[in-house]
Amino acid sequence: MIITACRACSGELAEIVSLGQLPLANNYLLPEAATTPESRYPLDLVRCRACSLVQITYTVPPDVLFKDYLYLSSYSTTMLRHAEELVTRVIVTRMLGPNSLVAEVASNDGYLLQNYVRAGVPVLGIEPAANVAEIARGRGVHTVEEFFDAGVATRLRDTHASGADVIHANNVLAHVAELNGFVDGFRVLLADDGVLISESPYLADFLRKVEFDTIYHEHLCYYSLTALTQLFRRHDLEVVDCERLSIHGGSLRIFVRHARVARPSARVTQLLDEEREWGVAEARPYARFAAEIERVKREVITLIRDLRKQGRRVSAYGAAAKGTVMLNVCALGLEDIEFVCDKSPLKQGRVMPGVHVPIVSPDHLEHSGVDYCLLLAWNVADEIRREQAAWESRGGRFIVPSPTVQVLG
């Protein structure tokens, strides 16, 4: 389905950039299935002239995207550490205990909620992917298999009459097609004095760092505080605080409460002012972003192809969705990239969507003899470089694709 009006406010849409027709970024194929043509869908980025929400126009049905999901948060030590630090802080500041309830929407494999379980705080995970929910249950995380919305929230509130003292929603708002029903679900499930803590990749960083490889069909929306504030206010919810984070290339953490008890901090006003200053509601920064995408594409393609002409062997690291986008947009296939390393056993033995480069264990890199490795999972670059220090010590060199191509080491 292609939208013709804003997902949040039904406002008029203005084009930013088109990445063409791409396969689903997380549709990792078994080698024998790679001979069959893959479905490709348009990937066009637009912005709302009314509320400034940046979004893509094509909506792939959620049951197609998430039925057998292969992204597990627990395979990143960076994500695990990030989650543990947040939970430790929230338990103290919200004085949580055995009579509290913490819910997480899109709880994945329980990577965050397991920290509450260890602390004796009751939890409720809400996760649509059956295979991932089963892993979470194995960690003691009570999980229901549902696509969250106001109807699901109402049923859960019937079971948990007081509501959730804390709701986590990390990196999920970007995936939601029916935004208003989803956000209204937060209003229903959140306890009267509760707080919603949500993290999303931050639009300002997305534009400045030219993170075009995070544009894919799962990521329907790209958020500024300006857009988030307006979205939540439609449902009697108010952003009361915000924090900028370095994770995922630059994220925004917001704290949301029922409007009737909300007291927004000065940080909220300050960041809204900053967004107005850099032009969140203007065409200028988005036109610059589109031009920068073309520059990065040229730099990546030129470097990889020049290295191959010199007889250098090139691999890649990170069979992440952003890797699918980078390889497909730059048309880098088997003649350019020998293999892609990834820690997830669920992906190993499969091939990258579209370009069909094989996915192997990171252990393969050290003795592979490749000279260069394109860092597709640049958001965890430090973690990868620590783990592959032996390969680098033998002369291997990592390539960071954006915002400017860099050869490390």
Note the pLDDT tens digit of each residue in 8-40.
999 999 999 999 999 999 999 999 988 888 999
Cβ burial, residue 394 (10 Å; 0-12/13-18/19+): exposed
Indicate whether this model's pTM tops 0.95.
no
**117 within 8 A of 98, measured Cβ to Cβ:** no
**Per-residue pLDDT, 76:** 77
pLDDT bracket for residue 70 (50, 70, 90): low
Domain ranges of the chain: 13-58, 65-262, 285-407
**Per-residue pLDDT, 38:** 92
pLDDT bracket for residue 130 (50, 70, 90): confident
Could you write out the DSSP letters of every residue in 25-58?
TT-PBPGGGTTSPPPEEEEEEEEETTT--EEESB
Q: Which secondary-structure segment (H or E) carries 225?
A: helix 225-233
pLDDT bracket for residue 66 (50, 70, 90): low
**Per-residue pLDDT, 9:** 98
Residue 74 has pLDDT above 80, yes or no: no
Helices (H), 310-393: 321-329, 363-366, 381-387, 389-393
Q: What share of the chain is helix, strand, coil (3-state, %, to 5)?
A: 40, 25, 40
Percent above pLDDT 70 for the chain: 98
Give the strand pairing for 237-245 and 251-258: antiparallel
- The terminus-to-terminus CA distance of the chain in angstroms comes to 45
**Per-residue pLDDT, 72:** 66
Residue 229 has pLDDT above 70, yes or no: yes
Q: Yes or no: is domain 285-407 CATH 1.10.3720.10?
A: no
Higher pLDDT, 372 or 69: 372
Query: What residue type is 246 in one-letter code?
Result: S
**Per-residue pLDDT, 65:** 75
**Per-residue pLDDT, 71:** 61
Beta bridge partners of 242: 254
pLDDT bracket for residue 131 (50, 70, 90): confident
**Per-residue pLDDT, 75:** 64
**Per-residue pLDDT, 261:** 96
Query: Is residue 116 classed as helix, strand or coil in its secondary structure?
Result: helix
Architecture of domain 65-262: 3-Layer(aba) Sandwich (3.40)
**Per-residue pLDDT, 214:** 96
Q: Could you tell me where the beta strands, DSSP code E, fall in 132-236?
A: 143-144, 164-170, 190-201, 221-222
Mean pLDDT of the chain: 95
Going from the C-alpha of 100 to that of each of 136, 194, 327, the distances in angstroms are 20, 10, 45
Distance (Å, whole) CA 114 – CA 85: 13
**Per-residue pLDDT, 209:** 96
CA 296 to chain centre: 21
Task: Show the tokens assigned to 167.
Answer: 């709701």
Span 365-385, average pLDDT: 93
**Per-residue pLDDT, 68:** 58
Residue 245 has pLDDT above 90, yes or no: yes
Give, to the nearest 10 degrees, the angle between helix 225-233 and helix 179-189.
70
